[in-house]
Each structure stands twice: as C-alpha cells, then as structure tokens.
Amino acid sequence: MNITPYDPIWLGARVYSNNTGKVSAIGEACRYLLQTHNLLPPDFPRRATIYYDSTYAYGAVTRLNKCKDNDELVDTVAILVEAVRRVFQLDFQHARAHSDIYGNEAADRLAARGAAGRISPHPQVWIQPPPWPNGN
C-alpha cells in the first residue's frame, strides 16, 4: 500500500526504512498525545514519556542532530513534538534495542513492517485526523 501526501495518515515519509519507522512512531505517539490532551479534564496532570531505541530518530525529531534523509517527515514530527511540549511535560527515555522489552520488540516488528511497505489500512486512531499544531 502506498501512502501519499493526500492520505490523512501521511507524516511525510518518502523513503521506507527502519529509520522512517522509528521517526514515524514518535510522530504517532505525538498525535495520540495531542488527541488525548483534548479529552483530559483541565486539572489532569499532563506528563508523558516517549521511549525510543533509535538515537537517530530521537536526535532528528528533537532537532539535536541533522537528519540524513526524509527531511519532510522529520520536520513534520519535530513540529508535532514541539506542539506536544506546549501542552505536556514531555520526556524522552532511551530503551536499549533488542533487550526483550515487550513494547520495544513490538515497535521493532511494526517498524520492519512499515519499512517493507506493509502498512495497515485499518488503524482506528486514524479514523479522525489528529489536531495539528496550526489548528487545522
């Protein structure tokens, strides 16, 4: 399945790779947090931690490092990270890759599927487009 700029789930990836999957995962976590923010009571604490095993993806989306490719994807996710930081205390925590951490192993399997171009057309979270930082 090809994802194009016209699809509501497209984050900007033009090349499918493991790094694309890792950066996209951070973007999807940010989309989820932005949707959740709108559902929480005003006095509910807004603190979140995103766990990552790719220092490349973390460095790229937090603008600590220059990305190697997929500039559009990295820029979109960096904007989402900044939007989340405006409404949540957002922390990032490194998780060692391939260390039998259940959630990390599942994320690696999903990143590999995405790198192979096997993207599910049925994700429930994408039925409604997430709120974007500019309010659209």
Q: Rounded to whole angstroms, what are the CA distances from 133 to 25, 76, 130?
A: 18, 10, 10
- In order of their start, the domains of the chain are 18-126 (3.30.420)
- Rounded Cα distance between 65 and 56, Å, is 8
Contact 83, 46 (CB under 8 A): no
Amino acid 126: pLDDT: 44
DSSP assigned state of 50: E
Could you tell me the mean pLDDT of each successive run of 10 residues in the chain, 136 residues long?
56 72 88 88 91 91 86 91 96 84 74 68 49 49
**Number of C-beta neighbours around residue 31 at 10 A:** 22
Q: Which two tokens stand for residue 60?
A: 């790229």
Amino acid 130: pLDDT: 47
Q: Which two tokens stand for residue 91?
A: 């922390």
Reported pTM? 0.76
